[in-house]
Amino acid sequence: MGKRRKIALLVGQAYEYYQASFIEGCLGELFASDYDVCVFAMYEKYQNTAAREVGETSIFKLVPFDQFDAFILMLDTLQTPGLCDSIMAEIREKVTVPVITVDKQLEDYPCIMPRHYDGIKTIVSHLIEDHGYTDIAFLTGKSWHPYSKERLKAFQDCMADHDLEIRENRIFFGDFWYTSGENLGDKLVKMRGVLPQAVACANDQMAVGLAKSLTEHGLRIPEDIAVVGYDSNDEGRFSPKPITSVTLPAKSLGTHAAAYVMALIDGQEPPQFTEPVDMYYGASCGCCNESAGTYSRLRSTWSTNLSSGSVFSPYNHMDEDLLSQSTFYGLMNTIFSYTYQIREFTSFSLCLNDDWQHYNSEESMGRTPFTDKMIHALYCGPENSGQDKIGVDDYFDREILVPELLEERDKPSVYYFTPIYFENMAYGYAAISFEEPVAHTESYRLWLRCVTRGLEYFKRQEQLRITNSMLEANLIREPLTGFFNYKGFQRNTYSLIRELKRDSDDANISVITIDIRNLSGINNEYGRNEGDSAILKIADFLRQNTEQSHIFALGNGEFFVLIQEDEDMSADKMIRSINDMILEFNGTSDKYKLQISYGTATGSPETKNDFERLVGAAINNKNIRKHSIAKIDSGTLSEEEQEEAKVVHDIIEHNRINYHFQPIVIASTGEIFAYEALMRADVTPYMPPPVVLRYAEFFNRLYDIEKATFTNVLNIIDSKGDDFAAGSKVFINSIPGHVLKDDDFAEITDKIQTDRIVVEFTEQSEIRESDMAKIKKRYEDAGLQTAVDDYGTGYSNVSNLLAYMPNYVKIDRMLLTCIQDSPQKQHFVKDIITFSHENGIMALAEGVETAEEYKTVLELGVDLVQGYFVARPSATIVKEIDEEVREQILEINRIVKAEGRKDTYVAGREARISLPVLVEEGYSKIVIPNAEVTYRDITISGAPGFDTQIYVIIEDGYQGSLVLENIGLSGTKLGNAICIGEGCDVSIHFSGENQLNNGGIRVPDTSRVVFSGDGILRINVHKLEAYGIGNALMARHGELVFDQDGTIEIKVDSAQGIGIGSGQGGVIKINRGRYLINMSGQSGVGIGSILKGTQPIVSNCDVDISNRAGRCVGIGSIDGDCDILIDKLSLNCTMHGHEGVAIGSMHGNTCIVSMNSGYITITANVNDMICVGSLASSDVRVKLTLLSLNCEFSGDNSGFIGCFEPGAKVSIARCSVSANGRSANLRDIYAEEENINISHTKCEITINDRLKSRIDN
């Protein structure tokens, strides 16, 4: 990092007025002695979410603590909970050079503390001596804060020096924020009695808030009441009535800090600091704003925000320009083009993690914010120096911070390092340098926010582009033939025009459309496999006649082909060639004969619309030809066809349509879940439904079929409802292209039983998105469920499925025939089922005809089954399927359960299970059955650091042992890593290093688990509601017994979280071992319960609990009763939150705590809390015996032991008790004296530096 000496300065918000002034004073002194300075800073010293706390504070993970000659720490500006502690831990471990702190005293390090006493006395004296006020109130900060106490003491002494009495209700405490002033204003107005003549506030922010409130209540400043502040900032100076105040000597303090640390480096005696008091005379006290001219808002340059196009300009379009970039290089170029907005720097670097584009929120947990190699994505030198560069492929080692720090420079510089992050994801950092002693500005911060938004949007768009590319690859091809579908045609239209017209712009292009005339007949007579073979045969004929890229499949045996008309090829020649191939095939086929309908259209398209119109014309011509094929030369139907047409016409006209009902069963039980209503024409001889539909389409009467189907089926349900299985549904076939009109739908609405009807879409052609949206809205409004038929063929593809988003997907028979013998079909069907389940859709296997097919689809995870194997369609409605078939289904389930599904390994065949082997074989779940197996006691082994996505389920009633050896398991999105069933008695023994991610160990109320072993068990859970070992928020957990000699580490980050226990409580017996529990989120309990009572027994062990939840309990309960027994325990409990109890119950009715023999240390920074006892229980009994108890606590309403409500009983015998607290409450023990029993104990409790000893020998 060069030869010049360097100082590191750590601050919270470098551009904030006080900090910026301090930094500028510090830099001036250090630059004069040829020091470089590296400032590591957040953007905001307060963050409003946990995620932003991680992102903001990430910059301090960048600090190379071994590379500086000294450190200056503005610790009071680092307000993020736990940040100071983590920085000081690294300082103490890694730093041997001088370290000084500012505004916050720590042991072992010198501290510079500005003296506020004289400033407060000066401004209060001004009110008394210059304005004659005698009744003055004072608003200070938090009662425990040293600055608050110092400023209050100065006020009290000043009043005493002037022989003035401080009246009752004239001293108030706040928190140095605007709301404290606003609250005081409201309080003063509502108080009975005379208002004070003036109010002195301990800072300008509280003064501004007070003035705002008073004026809103109709009071005038200063005519009715004067207001003064302290620390004089811009907000106070430029208020409607400028606030009279005292300017803090921030710049001179920075100069002194620099001189102080340089003296320490040189081994000299540090200098003393003298602080002149500088008054700002505003108008809020009654003065005439004498100081206003000193603090003018005149610009330093002639440029304006508008003329210079600054970040504040209304014409600043940086955000829009960044969001419009599609390449990383373009993004960097755009950022570079806007560096003029911050151009007063010496250098600027944008440094990004080498994996920033692939970094996500989940990966941010537990990893270093910055990668070892950084991308020097953008570098700008001094203006017009020619050093600017964009380095999207320029990498450097993170430890050097920025490459230019290694270069020789003539002058010292300051480098400001700030994080580039979004929420909790650090993408890198920015480094801006100056050769002048200046702080960076707020405009720089706003500029970097634009950069961050641009990076985040680019990353999201890039990820979306990749996802879309993968989806489009599946959406633009027809799965059976592999040809492009119509979407593929639309996507490639212009490239096709260029290719087909490459020889001449005037070249004619012909479109040939073809479909298989008798495909439905082939499917009906020979099955869909033969129908698919017919489609593939025609596809092969097409391939032999033209390039595959010129063939497009519309599904259901329909194609169109593009050719360039020339001497060698024409539409007529191709059709003759294909017909010759069909004739040859028919001569050898002993089953069906292939027949096609075709149509052509020729033109010279120049645009996409031209081409689509040409295809449409060809399809229309084909359809006309197809309908005409059934006619003789005179245009009339044949005698046979005439008869069929007459029958269909009669069927439609007279609604001669009956329905057979085919059961749909639950795959796992064989119970009837639903029925499909299948159309049957009421004519003799039998006429298949496809024939009826074909002539209905010929007559353009499909709408009448749709209407008759709904009306007839609903009438049957209405009249024969009791004949159906209880709670069953009925699937009604519907053609989306012929949906009922609003009037017709309204007529049948009264008959619709919304909990019973499922509308099954059967059409094998696409419909417009707008029409689909109307259909979906209609059925959603009516409360009807929907299903998609024949999924996996024709137009029933991912595109339609995403458009329909049905409740059920019926997997086509084509995919299920002999599926047990086809790995390809199994893979495809498995993907369909997985996709369905991930989107909340039930998967239905349609057309299952054999037990082998049933077993296979069951193994693949299908929910429902329909087909001849289960039951044939019948005019008679059955409530149950055949008993023998039902037994066969149950037997298949038993076999599948024993063997395990394709992704499930069923334990018991061998005593030892190897996780690496299971991962290699594709398993994601281990089931330990409660059944007769070879091995009941199971060992699962892995390797240290070998994480998997496998989870374990222990079935109901299991009794045995589970040994974990160096395993890595992972819970599902909603599940656990180890899920124990009801009525189990399990011993879990762990050795080596074991890791459970994304889920803990579920132990239901009726089960018992004993933990043993000498290894490490780590559990890491981050979910909305989570627990490490136990059960969910609304459940009780079973008996948890810990007899282990190793270490259990639990980390839970959750809105509602428990380390060991559950929401509703249960039995916890911790008999020995070591436990490290880390909680964060909204509400968290280390050991115990959240809602109901708990009775934990904790003995002979070492427990360390860190709880950073908003509502936090170490051992006990939040809202439930507790009866806690602790014996021979070493406990270290650290709490950070707004409400909490270390040991006890926050709000339960009863709180009993018995602690006997042990070492207890409690450190807490919680607004409302009791270390031991309860906040509000009516029955509190605390008994301590033979105990060493040490507590450090702070909070506005915090206390040591007992309960804030009356009635608590506290007994302390043969103990050593020490407590040191900061609180507005001054009591040492929260119990009436008659309920406090202390014997043979030394009890020393210090509250706000006031020691109270209770000693009984």
pLDDT of residue 631: 39
Q: What is the DSSP letter of 444?
A: H
Give the residue from 881, 897, 913 where a domain finishes. Answer: 897
DSSP three-state, residue 559: strand
Which residues, in sequence order, are CB contacts of 177 under 8 Å at separation 6+? 205, 206, 209
At residue 366, the pLDDT reads 56
Least confident among 33-47, 782-796, 1197-1211: 782-796
Count of domains for the chain: 4
The reply to whether 665 and 746 lie within a common domain is: yes
On whether residue 501 sits in a domain, the answer given is yes
Q: Which residues partner with 1037 through β-bridges?
A: 1004
DSSP letter string, 248-262 = --HHHHHHHHHHHHH
Does residue 1045 lie in a domain region? no
pLDDT band at 899 (very low <50, low <70, confident <90, very high): low
The stretch 788-813 carries a mean pLDDT of: 74
Q: Is residue 480 part of a domain?
A: no
pLDDT at position 2: 46
Residue 269 falls inside a structural domain: no
**Pick from 1241, 1243, 1194, 1191: nearest CA to 1217:** 1243
Let me know the angle formed at the C-alpha of 615 by 613 and 619, rounded to the nearest 5 degrees: 115
- Tell me whether the omega of the peptide bond preceding residue 98 falls within 30 degrees of 0, making it cis: no
In a domain, 266, yes or no: no
> pLDDT > 90: what percent of the chain?
53
Better-scored residue on pLDDT, 843 or 917: 843
pLDDT for position 129: 95
Compute the average pLDDT of residues 802-809: 80
Give tens-digit pLDDT for 62-89: 999 999 999 999 998 898 888 999 999 9
Instruction: Report d(CA 301, CA 319) in Å as an integer.
Output: 26
Banded pLDDT at 1 (limits 50, 70, 90): very low
pLDDT, tens digit, 9 for 90 and up, residues 740-774: 888 788 878 877 877 889 999 885 556 666 777 78
Average pLDDT, integer, range 775-792: 85
DSSP E strand boundaries for 141-215: 171-173, 198-201
Say if residues 1037 and 1030 touch (Cβ distance below 8 Å). yes
Same domain flag for 564 and 683: no
- Per-residue pLDDT at 363 exceeds 60: no
Residue ending a domain, choose from 878, 897, 916: 897
Residues 140, 202, single domain; the answer is yes
Same-domain status, 465 and 490: no
Q: 765 - beta bridge partners?
A: none
Which domain covers residue 803, as residue numbers? 652-897
The 10s digit of each residue's pLDDT in 439-482 is 888 889 999 999 999 999 988 888 888 777 767 767 788 888 88
Run of H or E including 226: strand 226-228
Q: What confidence score (pLDDT) does residue 634 get?
A: 37
Per-residue pLDDT band at 1072 (split at 50, 70, 90): very high
pLDDT tens per residue, range 621-665: 777 556 544 432 334 567 777 777 778 877 876 788 999 999 999
Domain end point (choices 851, 875, 897): 897
Question: 973 vs 77, which has greater pLDDT?
Answer: 77
| E strand map for 46-91 | 70-73
Q: Both 240 and 346 in a single domain?
A: no
Decide if 940 is inside a domain. no
Going by pLDDT thresholds of 50, 70 and 90, the confidence category of residue 7 is: very high
Q: Which residue in the block uniquely carries the two structure tokens 């790995």? A: 823
670/563 same-domain check: no
End-to-end CA separation in angstroms for the chain: 62
Asked if 174 and 230 sit in the same domain, the reply is yes
Q: Residue 186 belongs to a domain with what CATH number?
A: 3.40.50.2300
Higher pLDDT, residue 828 or 141: 141
Separation of alpha carbons 682 and 659, rounded Å:
9
pLDDT of residue 326: 82
Beta pairing, strands 1039-1062 & 1008-1013: parallel
The pLDDT of residue 294 is above 60: no
Contact 1007, 1038 (CB under 8 A): yes
CATH code for the domain in which residue 502 is found: 3.30.70.270
- pTM (two decimals): 0.45
Query: Is residue 1019 in some structural domain?
Result: no
Q: Are residues 505 and 546 in the same domain?
A: yes
Tokens of 760: 């099954």
Question: What's the mean pLDDT in 779-803?
Answer: 73
Where does 97-156 show beta strands of DSSP type E? 99-102, 111-112, 136-140
Comparing 137-151, 380-394, 494-508, 634-648, the range with the smallest average pLDDT is: 634-648
pLDDT of the residue at 636:
58
- DSSP reduced 3-state for 609: helix
The residues, any chain, with a CB within 8 Å of residue 259's CB and separated by 6 or more, are 29, 270, 271
Residues 495 and 461 in one domain: no
Instruction: Indicate if the pLDDT at residue 1256 is higher than 50.
Output: yes
Average of per-residue pLDDT across 814-826:
85
The per-residue pLDDT for range 517-531, each reduced to its tens digit, is 878 888 988 888 999
**Average pLDDT of every residue of the chain:** 88
| Any domain includes 283 | no
- Interval 850-865 mean pLDDT: 92
pLDDT digit string (tens) for 98-154?
Answer: 999 998 888 889 999 888 899 999 999 999 999 999 999 999 998 888 889 999 999
Question: Based on the domain organization, do 447 and 531 belong to the same domain?
Answer: no
Residue 697's CATH number: 3.20.20.450
Claim to verify: residue 142 and residue 226 sit in the same structural domain: yes
Question: What integer pLDDT is reported at residue 591 of this predicted model?
Answer: 84
- C-alpha 662 chain-centroid distance: 44
Based on the fold, state whether residues 744 and 885 are members of the same structural domain. Answer: yes
> How far, in Å, CA of 784 to CA of 781, rounded?
8
pLDDT tens per residue, range 1114-1140:
999 999 999 999 999 999 999 999 999
**367: confidence class by pLDDT, cuts 50, 70, 90:** low
Strand ranges for 998-1149 from DSSP E = 1001-1002, 1008-1013, 1016-1022, 1025-1030, 1039-1062, 1068-1089, 1097-1117, 1122-1145
Least confident interval from 278-287, 693-702, 992-1001: 693-702
- Predicted local confidence at residue 633, as pLDDT: 32
Cα 653–chain centre separation:
58
